[in-house]
Amino acid sequence: MSDLLIIGGHVIDPASGLDQARDILLRDGLIAAVDQPGAFAQIAGTQIAGTQISGPQITGTQVFDAKGLIVAPGLIDLHVHLRDPGQTYKESIVTGTRAAAAGGFTSVVAMPNTLPVNDCPSTLAWMLDPARKPLVRLFAMPAATLGSLGLELTNFEALATGGARGFTDDGKPILDSALMRAALLRAGRLGLPVSQHAEDPRLSNGAVMNAGPMAFRLGLRGYPAEAEASIVERDLQLLRDLVPTEGVHAHLHVQHVSTALALQAIRRAKADGLHVTCEVAPHHFTLTDEAVGHFNTNAKMNPPLRSKDDRQALLQGLADGTVDCLATDHAPHARYEKEIEFERAPNGITGLETALGLALRVLHREHGIPLSRIVELMSTNPARIGKLSQAGTLAPGAWADLTLFDPAHEWTFDASASLSRSRNTPFDGAAMLGKVQATFVAGTRVNPAKLS
């Protein structure tokens, strides 16, 4: 593999404590060196042999001019639905990772609710086989229970050997407390998280949007905030009890936190030193349940868009560090599946191509969250949670996965130009800030649009 020099950019790598102008040398798919602007030009031809760098006039295809761009470790999404195997009319590994690359993601973690459910080593191996031709790094969290039925745990050890980044029944919670305890214990011993979809269906029977005045006006049944918080509280208690009884500091990852109530429980548990992490989806910090409007099924997802107060709490948690990372919950659906009665429409929206643009507009510009914190939320921390030790940083030796974006570029998202196979987004025509200019995976620039 050849070398590549990225010059003139502003490097933000919280893991290395960098937030300044730096040049980066990539070699053999890894970060070789990071140094002062122009440093590599000075040493060209001596220490770094064969890089074709000669003097300050750097030319050639192996140099990428990142002037005006933020150079960040590649973005990582711990929560995507690629619908492959089984529902490739919605999305496939190829189209989903194409959308990921366009959105600046260099690694994505696929949820297990495929057909068949990813609950055994053979399905996991099929999914992670390079023959699937993902455009970015593809990882998976297999199911925590067989068929995600919530009855019997899957073979965590074998799945871990096969590359599992954690275990989840995403889409539904592991409701049985004894089973959840066993899951946390086994995953904890493997050093992997149990990623929980926190919802008590006993409190959300027939719910299709957030409980509250808007749901009442629309005549729709609502998910109360308690349905989320009660499962989070229960799981945190299980986590707490495992320390003295089993001596295991298990890792609970709470998916797509949407309520102030659940976030508060997580904040307290973190203060108590429990190993809990959580993610927030861009739609939850951008929109409220008012966005359902006239029964817009592209504003329907689970957990649902919440109240103004919940959104404010999430923004607070994103700013103060309670929230560990952003995750899109990219959930493609075919047009005909969404063009039906609101209460019958499937949950979920696409999100890979709008995550960075929303994070920069809403979090950075509208709420003053620094870019370094956004990189932390979208790369540094998800790498840690997903145990991707060579990702989420630009330190020498790390994977040469980078996202280069123009932080000042204002643009409008056009769903019809999406690279996902589906178009179910509430952000068609929405203002975005920050445009991805290049995505590098293992030192090679990914061109999602050019793919045949």
Partner 1 sequence: MTVEEMPMQEVASILSLADRLDGVPPAVKAGLLAGRKIALLFYESSTRTRTSFELAAKSLGATTTLVSDKSSSIEKGESLKDTGLTLRALGAECIILRHPASGAPFVLERACGLPVLNAGDGMHQHPSQALLDVRTILQRLHLAGRPVEANLLAGCTVAITGDIRHSRVARSNGMLLPRLGAKVLLCGPVELLPEEAASLGQEVEIVRDFESALARAQVVMMLRIQRERLAGLEFDLAAYIDRYQLTQERLARLAPNAVVLHPGPMIRGLEIEDEVADGPQSAIEQQVTNGIALREALLLRALGVEL
Annotated catalytic residues are 329
* Distance separating alpha carbons of residues 299 and 240, to the nearest angstrom: 36
Measured from the CB of residue 450, what is the shortest distance to partner 1 in angstroms?
35
- Among candidate residues 172, 169, 173, 155, the one with its CA nearest the CA of residue 117: 169
Measured from the CB of residue 90, what is the shortest distance to partner 1 in angstroms?
17
Beta-carbon count within 10 A of 137 CB: 22
Q: Exactly one of 55, 191, 206, 273 binds partner 1 (CB under 8 A); which one? A: 206
Of the ranges 31-39, 265-273, 342-350, 442-450, which one interacts with partner 1 (CB under 8 A)?
342-350
* Interaction of residue 212 with partner 1, rule CB under 8 A: yes
List beta partners, residue 27.
3, 30
Beta-carbon count within 10 A of 57 CB: 7
* Interaction of residue 429 with partner 1, rule CB under 8 A: no
Nearer to partner 1 by Cβ, of 221 and 364: the residue is 221
- Among candidate residues 88, 281, 255, the one with its CA nearest the CA of residue 174: 255
- Binding track, positions 302-321, relative to partner 1; x by CB under 8 A: --------------------
Taking each helix axis from N to C terminus, what angle separates 225-246 and 177-189, rounded to the nearest 10 degrees? Answer: 50
Which DSSP letter does residue 166 get? -
Of the ranges 57-65, 216-224, 386-394, 442-450, which one interacts with partner 1 (CB under 8 A)?
216-224
Measured from the CB of residue 184, what is the shortest distance to partner 1 in angstroms?
31
* Distance separating alpha carbons of residues 448 and 446, to the nearest angstrom: 6
* Interaction of residue 416 with partner 1, rule CB under 8 A: no
Measured from the CB of residue 200, what is the shortest distance to partner 1 in angstroms?
15
C-alpha dihedral (263, 427, 89, 159), degrees to nearest 10:
-30
Q: Exactly one of 246, 343, 406, 428 binds partner 1 (CB under 8 A); which one? A: 343
Q: Exactly one of 17, 46, 244, 344 binds partner 1 (CB under 8 A); which one? A: 344
- Among candidate residues 71, 168, 39, 46, the one with its CA nearest the CA of residue 401: 71
Q: Exactly one of 46, 57, 61, 205 binds partner 1 (CB under 8 A); which one? A: 205
Nearer to partner 1 by Cβ, of 151 and 340: the residue is 340
- Among candidate residues 197, 192, 274, 199, the one with its CA nearest the CA of residue 241: 274
Measured from the CB of residue 260, what is the shortest distance to partner 1 in angstroms?
17
- Binding residues vs partner 1 (CB under 8 A): 205-206, 211-213, 215-221, 294-295, 336, 339-344
